[in-house]
Chains A and B, each alone.
Chain A
């Protein structure tokens, strides 16, 4: 079963803020704790910034998912950018091609419950879920 899908396009820097605010609001409506709302907003911020920095543009969408029992919030960050050469590298702490902390993707993996990344020369899609506890 699926809930409503909300999509936020990422074109400009301010869209990063817009995306994390709508994600946080949705998390709040679903009943996530303050800490989990912050985790979700932070994960969205990382994914949206990666789109803005490395792909130029893309989108972040949110949807409510029902698993076996709990409700979850699924976030899909999708772009048609250059893709990532070495997926295993970018999941290591401290790997960055832009002089960043390289904390983004490994951080998102720890912030959220489920994490999946698909990347090739046609772009990158990161799908993450946090389940209501």
Chain B
């Protein structure tokens, strides 16, 4: 299965609506990097509202996406992380320190705009 990636001006928007298995997560990583390269996007919002579980593997993939995107010149913001998911991440000892988050898609876009204007 593939996660659709939409382009809006200089940004890419992703809403993860399916259960993230390992294969899907890896495919998403690859697709997103390709899309950043093709489109020259400077920011990406990944909405995780529908994601009910993030385990250590998926957390690693998502964390890597941020670092890789950054190398390509794009900032990533995650939005809509469920309370239960944030609690299990802490139990796992995963703090996603370098990862930007916001409440929802709209706030995510606002955050990206601010970050990019600061530069």
Q: Which residues of A contact B (CB under 8 A)?
A: 13-14, 16-17, 20-21, 24, 34-35, 37-39, 41-42, 45-46, 49, 93, 100-101, 103-104, 106-107, 110-111
Task: Report chain B residues within 8 Å CB of A39.
Answer: 84, 87-88, 91
Interface pair A101/B94, CB less than 8 Å apart: yes
Task: Report chain B residues within 8 Å CB of A49.
Answer: 22, 55, 57
A39 to B93, CA, bound (A): 13
Interface pair A34/B91, CB less than 8 Å apart: no
Interface pair A38/B56, CB less than 8 Å apart: no
Which chain B residues (76-112) contact chain A, with CB distance < 8 Å? 82-85, 87-88, 91-94
> What is the total number of residues of chain B having a CB less than 8 Å from a CB of chain A?
22
Interface pair A110/B55, CB less than 8 Å apart: no
Interface pair A16/B22, CB less than 8 Å apart: yes
- Residue of B19, B22, B53 near A13 (CB, 8 A) is B22
Interface pair A41/B52, CB less than 8 Å apart: yes
Nearest A residue to B53, CB-CB: A41
Interface pair A110/B91, CB less than 8 Å apart: yes
A101 to B22, CA, bound (A): 15
Interface pair B57/A100, CB less than 8 Å apart: yes
Which chain B residues (34-87) contact chain A, with CB distance < 8 Å? 52-57, 59-60, 82-85, 87
Task: Report chain A residues within 8 Å CB of B83.
Answer: 35
